[in-house]
Chains A and B, each alone.
Chain A
Amino acid sequence: MKRMKKIEVVIDTIHLEHLISLLENRGFTGYTVIKDVYGKGERGLMIGDEVTGVFQNSYLFTICEEQQLNDVIEDLRKMLKKYGGVCIVSDVDWLIH
């Protein structure tokens, strides 16, 4: 087991690519995405129920070392301020295999 940081982001599907390129530019080599998650936040009901996909959210999670988290956290904050969304950081144990 290895102590790591887990970053979870829920973001508008339309901006998902932007988030992924931000992480990749910061040296993140892996992530997992679940498309079309739904819920409600400050931008209203995000349920993906209309034809444009405007109200469609996606969920992304990745894990990293604490240093890598410190490098990316401000970029994430700026991005969420502009585009909306939620980011949660937690301590996790990574199973080395």
Chain B
Amino acid sequence: MSLDLLIQNVLNPVILFFFLGVLSIFLRTGLEIPQPIPKFISLYLLMSIGLHGGYELSKSGLDFYVFKVLGLALLMAIVVPIYSFFILRLKVDIYNAVAIAATYGSISAVTFITAVNFLQSIGDSYSGFMVAAMTLMESPAIIIGLILLNIFAKKSDNGNLDVKELLRESFFNPSVYILTGSLLIGFITGEKGWKVVDPLFGQLFKPMLAFFLLDMGIVAARRLSELKKVGMFLVAFAIIIPIINATIAILIASSVGMTKGDAFVFAVLCASASYIAVPAAMRLSVPEANPSIYVTMALALTFPFNISVGIPLYYWLANKILGG
């Protein structure tokens, strides 16, 4: 991988604010962002990316290529948690294996946003409908995880699984709901609608992302103290599995003729791990799993790795395999 690409990605105000947040914990500055603000900004980011994706989708329209990519996204969202689960079962108990597999089978919207930001900064492009792929990849891992739990755990241990509640939590959790809704609004209102919301949801997007990543840096660094619980096997898993997932995604993308930008974004989605939708669902449906393991892995290991090294690495891989 070219060092230029890595430096270009890291020397970006948005990414640097993440590390500023991390540093503030190590230096004990006491920097803290009042809790409702990050929640508000995460909603803002999801609305913004949904609206913009919907607008782009209204421009490009729906054709066979779109459906093919969406189908592959769905396939990866089903397959990744299955093989992750079997790898994890080598060292981890069934409950934590299910929760971690679901975490890595789902996606991180902020990693996706950071990847898009990187793509724009180097003057490359991607298809707007990839936001729909992201939305589609949020929930299946939760369902797959619970199917695995029902197959492999003792029946008596998970007898009171409320399937209706679980499906509601999987498909109507706040992040999926706001993303899907914004995507539809963006699609329906098209260019006219985008012009109306652009001052807030377009032009302010990067500063808001910087603000959010500052908070993410603080939260991720706080979770670093939990790494002792995680253990070496899971630390390695948190770094290696994203690279494996991204490589598989790029190979699949190249075999079906995806564009380089779309293949890169697809790889980032497959490589990312959820720390919003899945943990909330897992706390309800697999309470035996320890969130300080699966959230710490996603938030304090995989997320920083992806936004600093992973993104340029996957771009380089996409370049190598699909030609740049």
Contact = CB atoms under 8 A, between A and B. Distances in A.
Interface of A: 12, 14-15, 43-45, 47-55, 82-84
A49 B219 contact: yes
Contacts of B291: 43-44, 54-55
Given A12-B283, A14-B283, A44-B223, 12 more contacts: A15-B287, A43-B290, A44-B292, A50-B219, A50-B299, A51-B276, A52-B275, A52-B276, A52-B279, A55-B291, A55-B292, A84-B287
Contacts of A54: 279-280, 283, 291, 295
B287 A45 contact: no
Interface string B281-292: 001100110111
The secondary-structure label for the interface of chain B is: helix
Interface of B: 35, 38-39, 42, 218-219, 222-223, 225-226, 229, 275-276, 279-280, 283-284, 287-288, 290-292, 295-296, 299
Nearest to A44: B292
Contacts of B39: 51
Contact of B287 (A49, A52, A55, A82): A82
The secondary-structure label for the interface of chain A is: loop
A51 B42 contact: yes
B268 to A, nearest CB: 20
Contacts of A53: 280
Identify which of A12, A43, A52, A54 gathers the most chain B CB atoms within 10 Å of its CB: A52
A27 to B, nearest CB: 22
Nearest to A36: B35
B292 A43 contact: yes
B35 A48 contact: yes
B159 to A, nearest CB: 11
15 contacts: A12-B283, A12-B287, A43-B291, A44-B226, A44-B292, A45-B222, A49-B35, A49-B219, A49-B222, A51-B42, A51-B276, A52-B276, A54-B280, A54-B283, A55-B291
A44 B229 contact: yes
A49 B34 CA distance: 9
A14 B173 CA distance: 14
Contacts of B295: 50, 54-55
B222 A47 contact: yes
Contacts of A12: 283, 287
Nearest to B292: A44
A47 B280 CA distance: 15
B38 A51 contact: yes
A52 B296 CA distance: 13
A52 B226 CA distance: 18
Nearest to A85: B287
Contact of B296 (A15, A44, A82, A84): A44
